[in-house]
Amino acid sequence: MPEKSKETVMIICAHPDDEILGAGGTIAKYTKEGKSVVAVIFSYGEKSHWWMKKKHTVERRVKESRAAGEVVGTYKTMFLGLHDLELKEEVKDEKNLALLEKLIIRYKPSRILTHSPDDVIYSDHKAVWNAVDKVTERMGFKGDVYVFNIWAKDVRLTQNPKLFIDISDTFNVKLEALKCFKSQSLAIYQLYPGVLWRAFKNGREHRCRWAEVFIKVK
């Protein structure tokens, strides 16, 4: 467990690599500031390599995600073990919601970063948002919940408060962490221009070189 004196931030996402794509620079920034960051990943992303045996894909993607976590300084990366591309139905199951709730209670994060309800291109991302929304609401979570997009262009909740993180000194760390996901090189390649543009655009708006911005929903 993280030291009680340290603030804990929790990243909750659908697949290995989402945590770095969505908040890699921020994770590195927080750990440099002395915060503990824990990542909760719903699935192993095992259907990304449908032609391989599930066991091999799972082992590879877990290894990549934990290696990336070491690069950015994640305290711990945990997997709920749910099924890739089936999260929409699985988050309706109470036992799966209970897994998430127990982790939030255990680690007591002051802040949660997760997928946006606008990120509807990938149904698993929206499913994770639905789970986080439901669990934090019913447990009366006292911390803040912020969201990010990966595939969708922008979060539409533009009237909500924004959390701006200057990652000028950690953006290169994020890019190094993305290199750990060798099994996802094609997807990362497709997303890479967007990662660069978004960080540049956010930085320009906030008068720094690179930035990540999250939208407060709770």
pLDDT digits 0-9 by tens, 110-128: 999 999 988 877 899 999 9
Give the whole-angstrom CA distance, residue 68 versus residue 72.
7
Mean pLDDT, range 76-101, rounded to an integer: 96
The pLDDT tens digits of the residues spanning 131-159 come to: 999 999 999 999 999 999 887 666 665 67
Give the whole-angstrom CA distance, residue 145 versus residue 110.
9
The CATH code for residues 8-216 is: 3.40.50.10320
Sheet bearing 76-82, strands edge to edge: 76-82, 36-43, 8-13, 111-115, 144-148, 211-216, 162-166
pLDDT at site 190: 87
Mean pLDDT, range 169-178, rounded to an integer: 98
pLDDT at site 26: 98
The identity of residue 10, as a single letter, is M
The pLDDT tens digits of the residues spanning 29-60 come to: 999 999 999 999 999 986 655 445 566 788 99
